[in-house]
Structure 1
Amino acid sequence: METERLFLKPITTDDAEFLFELYNSPHFLEFIGDRNIKNFEAAAEYIEARFLPQLERLGYGNYVIIRKADRQKIGAVGVYERKGLDVQDIGFSFLPQFEGQGYGFEAASKVLETVFNDYKVKKISAITSKANFTSQKLIKKLGLKYIKNVLLPGDTEELLYFEIENQTL
């Protein structure tokens, strides 16, 4: 996928070093959580176990966001099947130096457009912590509406739950 400033490519194990850096960045750890990825090998295993099966089964999933100007990997965006949610969930994360530059809206808009138009997904959700105001702002800007608070299996923190319906169906 492509936007004005970005390329979005499906994640592969070749992205393990980048995923390691992203998933251990301060905001990821604070707002999304520690995925216990302590080295590049663990990152590659995480990609193989968590992302590749969904990409193969559904045709979409997690995408690495690459800035066109310099081919720099800056973040990730995707639509995921999550335990405890009936509706697939859009998520996004960025390396700290690339936050707040509009890349999240640009990338997430393209992913929503693609899953709605090409894969005929009926509804997408988003979840975020109550303290992650930046994420909440982006979720609302994407057109998702707050529905309720949710507690995912194995979690202790209640999250805000948002949804958007496919208007093209």
Structure 2
Amino acid sequence: MLRLETDNLVIQELNEDRDNGLMLALLNDADFLKNIGDRGVRTKSEARNYILNGPIAMYREHGFGMYKVSLKNGTAIGICGLVKREGLNGADIGFAFLPDYRGQGFALEAAKAVMTYARDILGLTRILAIAQPENKPSIRLLEKLGLAHEKQIVLPGETEKLALMAWHKDAAEITN
């Protein structure tokens, strides 16, 4: 079971029973719906299934996935991790935080820990990210992690153009 600790945060695997409330809140947050999309999850039972069929299945299949991010006191504040997405030829870093915990540096702190884990433990040499081109806060955060804009893409089965960003092992170290 993955468990990463930073100065302020604990990052660990999601649990379908313990974390379905967090997932339900995130998946129905207005900014999540606008910037990431509607996953059609409206109940704790659906959130439980989403965790089982998404992050937990990804842990088993790829050895990584989305992780719960909590404050050191145990308060769950969001998710951050890596996913393997159809249409992308590499692991994709992503994050989503509850409204009360945005703009305080927690997403950057969690994403730095996940990037370090991906690079140093998983041995990944290329990490991708996708973002809505108008989602400037996410793009700025990804740039702070060392990801650079590569091109615009449309994922399979979608119509919307997204910014594809990438980090390569030979690129500069993660910046502050």
Query: Is residue 49 of structure 1 aligned with residue 56 of structure 2?
Result: no
Unaligned runs of 5+ in 2: 172-176
- Map residues 31-70 of structure 1 onto 2, 5 A cutoff: 31-68=35-72, 70=73
Over the matched positions of the two proteins, sequence identity in percent amounts to 34
User: Cα offset for 1:88?
Assistant: 1.1
Distance apart, 1:166 and its partner CA: 2.4
Residue matched to 2:78: 75
The equivalent position to 1:87 in structure 2, one of 87, 90, 94, is: 90
* Structure 1 vs Structure 2 CA RMSD: 1.2
Counterpart Cα distance in 2 of 1:26 and 1:162: 24
What is the aligned residue count? 167
Rounded to whole Å, the distance in 2 between the matches of 1:58 and 1:83 is 13
Q: TM-score, normalised by structure 1?
A: 0.95
Unaligned runs of 5+ in 1: none
**Hey, which bits of structure 1, 4+ residues long, moved more than 6 A?**
none
| TM-score (structure 2 length as normaliser) | 0.91
Cα deviation 1:100-157 (Å, max 9, x = unaligned): 0000110000001001111111210000001111101101011101000000012121
Cα distance in 2 between the residues matched to 1:35 and 1:50: 11
SS in 1 for 2:19: helix
Q: Secondary structure of the equivalent of 2:158?
A: coil
